[in-house]
Structure 1
Amino acid sequence: MVDSISKVMIILFLLLVLAMQLKGIEIGDPIIPKKVTVEITNKLNMTFLGLRCKEKHRDLGFHILNVGETYSFRFYPNFLFPATLYFCHFKYPGGDHHFDIYVQRRDYYCFHNRCSWEIVENGPCKIKPRSRECFNWNVAFVPANK
């Protein structure tokens, strides 16, 4: 009796996991996400770009890009819960900004699993096959006085 209940519980758990995964994807999408590449290109007006990107458990280090240079990194997005987040700190003469460069719910459907960004003075621009979508920099966090 206990053995059959265990089997039923395992089957129900697997069905629940499958249903959760299918809820967030369209027909033809893989059940297990493919590796995503994020590309960041310096399109600032004649100046270098310093950047440091991080995820909750992973710091990708500090990088300096000259105008026109690209930095990229790859990762597997979260399988069960679409909550993968990479954020970057961008620094250049006259600018010091943060931006969430990969938000799984926003960026899951990047073109061929490649999320390409151009960094300009006004903010990052996501490059799409026939257009580009520009975003504002994240609002700076200022802790409240205690």
Structure 2
Amino acid sequence: MQFALGQLYCTNHDVPPLAADSARSYDWKGHRYEWLHEKSRGSRICLDVEGLDTPAPDAIVPHGMNTRDFWAAWTFAEACCKISDVPILQWIRTLPLVVPRSGVVLQMPVQFPSSSSAWSFTDCWPEQNVVFTCAWLQI
């Protein structure tokens, strides 16, 4: 599926990746999602995907948050963790799960050297019934 910042593809896990430098994530059914992009020199890119049909774990869902919002917030947190090399359990102990605005590029709430910036894009792919966040760090 084409998005403003790149293309998201869904393939089976046993098929070779579409590109050596694509960002990849897998859903609980074993589907591989790949984010193809124009990778600029000095950037790092990651992807997190969750199925909207996956039951949200009651123990960590904030009170009153629906399943779609939870998975959007979770993929955003996972992308922040992947891009900043912070374990997810450490992240959710110190920061609340935040529901990002869908389809909007956001600066990420992580600290990097002053010459770096991190950005993310969260959206839903209805045909695949998934929500995803792609994040990139420009150094």
Structure 2-normalised TM-score? 0.27
Q: Return the index of the structure with the highest Cα Rg.
A: 1
- Point out the structure with the larger strand share: 1
